[in-house]
Structure 1
């Protein structure tokens, strides 16, 4: 499966393609207010830890209502965005890292252990409590202290500390990763289709293109997806696009319906409006208005 990140059209507002300046970038206990969420993606991995506040975090079409102690592991490619309740404190720690640099010179078996939670579980939420929470926050504090010190070989020492943190996280995720590793070939193919749609839903998708990327025939892909999920590939694609439209309508009240339609992957506004009303039960304009009234 291709892991190439598609570049969004220049007209898509509220989107940022982040670049990494250092192999490890650490921002701990950041309480800077966030005014309006911005969808972003990146080709590096992210460890996100929520300390305090009221925030929902959107990753693709998943919405996580965060609580203190929540840890998010993200592969970065999926569009993601925090949505902070107005007036609420928002305290978070974020570690961005280049997985190739962090795992350089490690044996393949160690690399697999450290990165499997990001590559197998993709975008995963854990709630840390008790000793786990204490251990993670102790590791985080140690990294933050080193980052602020005048120290020789700082990046190399940060790498060692991050590797220790990744080993701890891998231990916590071991059972989930093993469950994913034990799935059947059919389920794995379907997961690849879902991942492909997640990365490319805003483009002009065809069954030919998806099947070619999966190295499967169209007929086998269609019957396999229906067998495992109970729905068709394109019903899933439209569900993903409509979910994206709902997210944009909620987060960007001034974005035009036409731009929402295009950002969600629809070529024609009329088709988008018809599909939205069929799947949501109301027109996009009415949905946006109702979400505004709930705030």
Structure 2
């Protein structure tokens, strides 16, 4: 599971300039190893292809029909098999907007899968898959409609989708049976980093704790995730800093850089700007507003 510092506890702490953002049946290729995070919830649906998805300290070998529920603040990254298609639909939404008009009980029901399960995979088959894909297609049609109440109807469709997901999650158990031994090793590495990113980590220490050689560790991690161990580690630290900049305004930039695992403030500031596209100070002032990834 992810650390508690990654959690965003309630729907009213997130705001989007655009409360609903749907990318439907996207076939555009991507570069593997692109880590990202965002301060809103995400529903990811996998239509077709071959892809391993890293979310927090969990690795999923995706299959068509896989539905991923993401608490967006957790670092996540797809690794698409070379030469394979990567067809997905992605819905980002501001839960404060989606839950307008719902009772507290209803809000708890529809948001609980994102807040309790955190990052969860459900494989849809049969009638469930057909119904979900039908709602996705309908939402895509509404998203391009000029009708007067298309936004309101879109919101109702998302609420319906969230109720469906809540129903599935009551009985769903995350399936790790299909994960390979290599993926299991890498998941252990990621879990180790998750619990130690704030400490001074070396490849030697990670390999020793995993009881594997440095060379095997490097090769294995690159094969499964599409990136290197230290690229992941630095992204994890930067992501922790982004979370703290948003949620802990009382802390100084120096305190945040140290808590995220950086020894030197100058190194942290350079890496943050190179990764995020702005300085830590500007990120804090802007409220963490960034384009959707």
User: Considering the TM-score relative to the shorter chain, is it more than 0.5?
Assistant: yes
Distance 1:173 1:110 in 2: 15
Shift of 1:170: 1.2
Q: Alpha carbons of 1:20 and 1:128: their partners in 2 closer, same or farther (altered >3 Å)? A: same
Contact 2:7 2:115 in 1 (8 A): no
The answer to whether the aligner puts 1:288 opposite 2:218 as a matched pair is yes
Residue 162 of structure 2 aligns to a residue whose secondary structure is: helix
| CA-atom RMSD in angstroms | 2.8
Residues 125-177 of structure 1: CA deviation (Å, up to 9, x unaligned): 00000000000001111001111222223322211110111111111112359
Unaligned runs of 5+ in 1: 6-18, 178-237, 246-262
Distance 2:193 2:222 in 1: 17
Equivalent residue, structure 1, for 2:36: 40
Residue 140 of structure 2 aligns to a residue whose secondary structure is: helix
Distance 1:121 1:141 in 2: 26
Residues 90-148 of structure 1: CA deviation (Å, up to 9, x unaligned): 00000000111100121101111111111111111000000000000011110011112
Contact 1:276 1:283 in 2 (8 A): no
Residues 271-291 of structure 1: CA deviation (Å, up to 9, x unaligned): 524422322334434522456
Q: Which has the larger radius of gyration?
A: 1
Structure with larger RCO (C-alpha < 8 A, sep 6+): 2
Equivalent residue, structure 2, for 1:149: 145
Distance 2:113 2:223 in 1: 39
Q: Normalization by structure 1: what TM-score?
A: 0.61
Q: Alpha carbons of 1:142 and 1:292: their partners in 2 closer, same or farther (altered >3 Å)? A: closer
The within-5 A match list for 1:10-159 is 20-159=16-155
Unaligned runs of 5+ in 2: 9-14, 174-187, 227-293
